[in-house]
Amino acid sequence: MSTQTESHPLDDPATDPFAIAALAAEQIAELTGVDHHDMALTLGSGWGSAASLMGETTATIPATDVIGFSKPALEGHVGTLSSVLLPTGKRALIIGARTHYYEGHGVRRVVHSVRTAAATGATTMILTNGAGGIRETWTPGQPVLISDHINLTADSPLEGATFIDLTDLYSKRLRDLARSVDGSLDEGVYCQFRGPHYETPAEVQMAKTIGGHIVGMSTALEAIAARQAGMEILGLSLITNLAAGIQKSALSHEEVVQAGKDAGPALGALLAAIVAQL
């Protein structure tokens, strides 16, 4: 049984995170029997049941069997990687093993799954999450498209003088494609906080004032890494709760988990219809 304290290949600043991602992709090819994936999906809170609705899952492996992946920190976050054969014949890599920034293992580990997905050949990265909604018209259980983000972590997955353009980070083409599947999809700007505490009502007001509509703890850093890797990105948030102070009652983790469970089938159908067009 491994422990969190043992040495990790990405923690040594001298190692090249892209070389580790390339090794991870080779291991995924061996363990799944699939040497190329066309797209990858990271399934966040509430999105976990979606994979089975997209196609035929031909392999599921523990993420910890693959170099660079860390043990999941949270109950309900499935630590697996799956290969799904879509009805179109394309291959999707399903990442059910997100490493969050708040786990404190550093941003290299946070974006390792995205870099690995790129190394398997994926050119589309679909990032999903559970998040808080700032717009009062939104209701828990509603999925929304991410149109842009504000990164409030004060960190970056890019190392050194690596200047990457983030214009149209969340592809307009893919957002339009998602709306062609479900015309009722709203969109908003995702603010990534460090967490793991939820925001204070004052922090939510700040996020609103600076142009945010969604508050979360995951996706912005991953999207930056996906762009660096040259992938086209689709971001989807399941609004599991209204953000602190927007909703009248206190936020509970149980509420968040339940909203995800209830929305599961609809989210699966949405993702299945989207990936069928990629």
Q: Which residues in this chain contact ligand 8IG in the complex, by CB under 6 A?
A: 45, 130-132, 193, 195, 198-199, 215-217, 240-241, 243, 251, 256
Minimum distance of ligand 8IG from residue 201's CB (angstroms): 11
Rounded to whole angstroms, what are the CA distances from 111 to 85, 119, 167, 198?
Answer: 24, 13, 20, 22
Pick 72 or 216: Cβ nearer ligand 8IG: 216
Q: Which is nearer to ligand 8IG, 118 or 243 (CB)?
A: 243
Smaller CB separation from ligand 8IG, 69 or 198: 198
User: Residues 103, 187, 199, 222: which is the catalytic one?
Assistant: 199
Q: Is 203 a catalytic residue?
A: no
CA torsion sign for 98, 106, 238, 166 is: negative
Give least dist CB 239 to ligand 8IG, A.
8
Q: How many Å apart are CA 272 and CA 56, to the nearest integer?
A: 11
Tokens found for residue 260: 């995800």
Quick one: residue 100, left, alpha or beta (phi over 0 = left, psi -120 to 50 = alpha)? beta
By beta-carbon proximity to ligand 8IG, the closer residue of 48 and 216 is 216
Nearest residue to ligand 8IG, scored by beta-carbon proximity: 132
Neighbouring-strand partners of residue 27? none
Least distance to ligand 8IG from the beta carbon of 45, Å?
5
Rounded CA-CA distance 252/164 in Å is: 37
Q: Least CB distance from residue 256 to ligand 8IG, whole Å?
A: 4
How far apart (Å, rounded) are the C-alpha atoms in residues 184 and 30?
Answer: 41
Which residues are catalytic, by number? 199
